[in-house]
Amino acid sequence: VNHAAATGTGTGVLGDTKTLNTDSYSGGYYLRDITKPMYSTGGKIETYTANYGTALPGTLLTDADNVWTDRAAVDAHYYAGKTYDFYYNKLGRNSFDNRGATLKSTVHYSRNYNNAFWNGTQMVYGDGDGSQFTSLSGALDVVAHEITHAVTERTAGLVYEYQPGALNESFSDVLGNLVENKNDPKWLLGEDVTTPGIAGDALRSMSNPNEYGQPDHMNEYQNLPNTREGDWGGVHINSGIPNKAFYNFVTTPGITKDNAGKIWYRALTQYLTSYSQFIDARNATIQAATDLFGANSLEATAVANAWASVGVG
Ligand SMILES: O=C(O)[C@H](CCc1ccccc1)CC1(C(=O)N[C@@H](Cc2c[nH]c3ccccc23)C(=O)O)CCCC1
Ligand SMILES: [Zn+2]
């Protein structure tokens, strides 16, 4: 048969079994999902391996019997599909460009690579060194974090430095956790792949940014240089402040995750721009809440209070 949707099974990074959307061709199966609405305009989800090198995208994964054992690839593929579904079904967005662009992931990037990234074209995942991280595609919040960088790039375009960069980071953490949708009262980031030898820790905490060295209030804002060593003005550090604002908002009685996500997404895609500062994000999220729920709604009031609680506005 020439290219038909097939259903395979695979083992994920944490040893769990998952059902996968694959593509059958005469002779075997590709790790390619052709079942999504994006396929009507040629979009698909494809997962590659860099084979421990750094050339991208590497080789599209194939398998003879549709039983997949590359754990990092299984999760990169499955979680990209879950993230696509969230954006399409919950927010009405058709892939990161809203025009059904193909989602391409590469796993086994380099050796013992303790990180992951969106490179402007695709997602890239390291396997970690087994101590600091396990394969980073093993966390849905990480996968959705990376794909949200692509969404931000195509919408607000928040530049990756200082406050706009910290907002860029925060939107990726917020959407990462909303897509993951765990009942995690601490709203942790990367908990499934950080320090496989230690339970209960994470990369960041949205409920208590201080726990992982991040500020949770403007009076703790860290003025860092716009260099690699300075984390581009502290984009992964000062994101603790907007992260805490979102946490305070979404945990306000009467506020739902779905409505919080709609408000943050509308602010990102309708009001924020390349050099928006924290105060602009406050104003944008209040405006979005007002658009969606009314000026004196619980949502609009709670958004203003949440930003005020971290010293913004
Ligand atoms: O997407 C991002 O913001 C991060 C991308 C980092 C990157 C950028 C450019 C080239 C290479 C890597 C990756 C993630 C991140 O937050 N990385 C942080 C924390 C981190 C992960 N691995 C590290 C190793 C050393 C130091 C810090 C880190 C960082 O790069 O700062 C996001 C979710 C999990 C990993
Ligand atoms: Zn990021």
pLDDT for 14 equals 97
Identify which of 56, 106, 110, 115 to mutate to test ligand 1's pocket (most ligand atoms within 8 A of the CB): 115
Q: What is the pLDDT of residues 86-106, one digit of tens each?
A: 999 999 999 999 999 999 999
Determine the Cα–Cα distance for residues 79 and 294; give it in Å rounded to an integer.
34
pLDDT for 35 equals 98
- Give the strands of the sheet with 62-63, arranged side by side: 62-63, 28-30, 17-25, 4-11, 67-68
CB of 140 within 6 A of ligand 1: the answer is no
CB of 58 within 6 A of ligand 1: the answer is no
pLDDT for 26 equals 83
Determine the Cα–Cα distance for residues 5 and 122; give it in Å rounded to an integer.
23
Q: What is the pLDDT of residues 123-169, one digit of tens each?
A: 999 999 999 999 999 999 999 999 999 999 999 999 999 999 999 99
Q: How remote is the CA of residue 130 from the centroid of ligand 1, in Å?
A: 16
CA-to-CA separations, 26 to 23, 44, 62, 77, in angstroms, rounded: 10, 19, 12, 22
pLDDT for 2 equals 79
pLDDT for 186 equals 98
Quote the pTM value. Answer: 0.98
Q: Which residues does the annotation mark as catalytic?
A: 146, 236
3-class secondary structure, 198: coil
CB of 190 within 6 A of ligand 1: the answer is yes
CB of 139 within 6 A of ligand 1: the answer is no
pLDDT for 1 equals 58
Q: How remote is the CA of residue 146 from the centroid of ligand 2, in Å?
A: 6
Q: How remote is the CA of residue 49 from the centroid of ligand 1, in Å?
A: 20
Ligand nearest to the CA of 142: 1
Report the nearest atom of ligand 1 relative to the CA of 116: 13
Determine the Cα–Cα distance for residues 109 and 52; give it in Å rounded to an integer.
5
Mark the ranges of the chain whose per-residue pLDDT is less than 50. none
